Structure 1
């Protein structure tokens, strides 16, 4: 699609008033592209728990605000030299970046590449502070947007924009070698089943820990070598994992559960001097002091992905595949059906909206299979 075909107006699903339902509105297509910006014609936009937080006003989001920070689509305009230097061009298939306009001058922007996403001077997060992907078009930053390999579909890429990037980096932060043991607390959830697959793609041995029958089954289905039922309690779980690992415990553990006891469980199943990667965001993280003082468990937090980490995730998916369980709704006007099913607890997987079905059809010619 050439620039001359981009319309002036588009459809968008917006929060117009906090704690009120979405509205479908006609708004301007973004035209204020800066040198690093891309205009992306959205193919698929994914729903996330964060979207309901935006609706509730948790982030103080300026209104009106277009929802969804998880999107995929095709570049239809390139803002300028910054994006061009990164190799972006019209026609590229992409997973939309979440941070928009990092400052480029702070310690995180100029420091190690894998900390660049921590810029606190960023203009905002797409779908949270800046208009998001529940629209025909979205403005994205080329510095945080990831090209899609031909093997990876729009349908998989959209929910990976946040969930995938987050748990991929968690697996990387464990810094394990092939054949070592990684435990995942909450392995049968939306991030967890992706984490199991990513860890296996890295050649790790994986122990899935969950407190639900369906979560344990999903962990096993997606490749966990062993599963442990968290409902048996911390001591039993730790003993089970020591038995599996020859008495040591997991080399590292990723905690994806915000249950009050989950962080303590994650530490308990980890070997002495091991690492716990904390991803879940409860109000407080509670860990008994002996885990840190006497057992030297190191706790690290992690936030989405840097640009290079995101590219490495896509490379791994293209080589090994990943199954992201999605429940598609066709068309932005189906947002109300989506919200009803999500809030009713009827959804098993990530609810997504297919915004542009033609892009879905076109990518089949490229051999998109994951």
Structure 2
């Protein structure tokens, strides 16, 4: 039941044609509490992050495209202000919650049962299939809301809901031993700066790669070594030197949309190591496939 007055229209940044320019309006339609379907709720948003994939969706740059008009965004934090009257779960009006990329899934298929709801064939993506977090109010689904702990600031929580969970989930795939080296290209970016912190929390040693302007940030977050890719003429050799082993690093998590970063990782990650592919590129050319195949067989 609603605990606050819910407007019939909301302020929102609306994509009406494929462009990174959105139309800011105060009159975007919003469901009333009586119109909510079972499992739906209304969230009054306080903060939202902007993911680079939002810009790709808005510009229509990928093969799959959102409907138009649409409201993007999938890194939102706010409070539940209304819930469908038939709902009997744990979410309550007044709860502070997070909105993530996968805003709903079937929760019953093989992917969902294994904890990979983002790969559910019936997944619904916030800001793509339904209106997202670039608004003051939005309709969300109770079974995929993320409770935000009291001690976590809302502004800090918002980017964790995409960049944070993306790199954290990737790092859980590693079997790199404690004390092993992980290289993070793009370490000073939205994904990379969180990857540094999560990798260190998992007991890994971090070698950060980024432009020189990001050196201080990366080192302050705990990276043990830093390579400025704008000045380094041989990234592979520099990695081997930094980790003190000609075999190279144990792992890499690519957090930049760079073809070169993927190719270089194919050379500087040691045999039986792991390259985590996070930075989105349309295709990668020049991978050293012979070395990669030899390293894992």
TM-score (norm 2): 0.87
Q: Give yes or no for contact 2:185–2:209 (8 Å, CA) kept in 1.
A: yes
Equivalent residue in structure 2 for 1:53, among 56, 64, 68: 56
Higher RCO by CA contacts (8 Å cutoff, separation 6 or greater): 1
- Other structure's SS at 1:291 match: helix
The 5-angstrom pairing of residues 1-370 of structure 1 reads 2-19=2-19, 21-25=21-25, 26-31=27-32, 32-58=35-61, 59-79=64-84, 84-85=88-89, 87-110=90-113, 112-113=114-115, 115-122=116-123, 124-210=124-210, 212-230=211-229, 231-243=232-244, 246-286=245-285, 287-296=287-296
Q: Give yes or no for contact 1:187–1:216 (8 Å, CA) kept in 2.
A: no
Q: Give yes or no for contact 1:37–1:80 (8 Å, CA) kept in 2.
A: no
Distance 1:236 1:4, change over 3 A: closer
- Other structure's SS at 2:56 match: helix
Separation in structure 2 between the aligned mates of residue 98 and residue 259 of structure 1, nearest angstrom: 23
Alpha-carbon RMSD: 2.4
| 5+ long unaligned stretches in structure 2 | none
- Other structure's SS at 1:198 match: helix
Size of the aligned set, in residue pairs, is 289
| 5+ long unaligned stretches in structure 1 | 298-370
Distance 1:176 1:138, change over 3 A: farther
Counting helix residues as a fraction of each chain, which structure ranks higher? 1
- Other structure's SS at 2:276 match: strand
Distance 1:225 1:30, change over 3 A: farther
Deviations 1:258-317 (A, max 9, x none): 2222112123222210111011121212420133221118xxxxxxxxxxxxxxxxxxxx
Separation in structure 1 between the aligned mates of residue 12 and residue 236 of structure 2, nearest angstrom: 50
Separation in structure 2 between the aligned mates of residue 4 and residue 219 of structure 1, nearest angstrom: 43
Separation in structure 1 between the aligned mates of residue 31 and residue 238 of structure 2, nearest angstrom: 51
Q: CA deviation at 1:20?
A: 7.3
- Other structure's SS at 1:133 match: coil
Distance 1:51 1:258, change over 3 A: closer
Deviations 1:165-220 (A, max 9, x none): 1111122222434333222122122211111011122232211122x101333211
Q: Give yes or no for contact 1:237–1:269 (8 Å, CA) kept in 2.
A: no
- Other structure's SS at 2:295 match: coil
Q: CA deviation at 1:247?
A: 4.6
Separation in structure 2 between the aligned mates of residue 160 and residue 57 of structure 1, nearest angstrom: 25
TM-score (norm 1): 0.71
Separation in structure 2 between the aligned mates of residue 116 and residue 67 of structure 1, nearest angstrom: 20
Q: CA deviation at 1:164?
A: 1.4
Distance 1:196 1:20, change over 3 A: closer
Separation in structure 2 between the aligned mates of residue 20 and residue 194 of structure 1, nearest angstrom: 26
Distance 1:190 1:55, change over 3 A: same
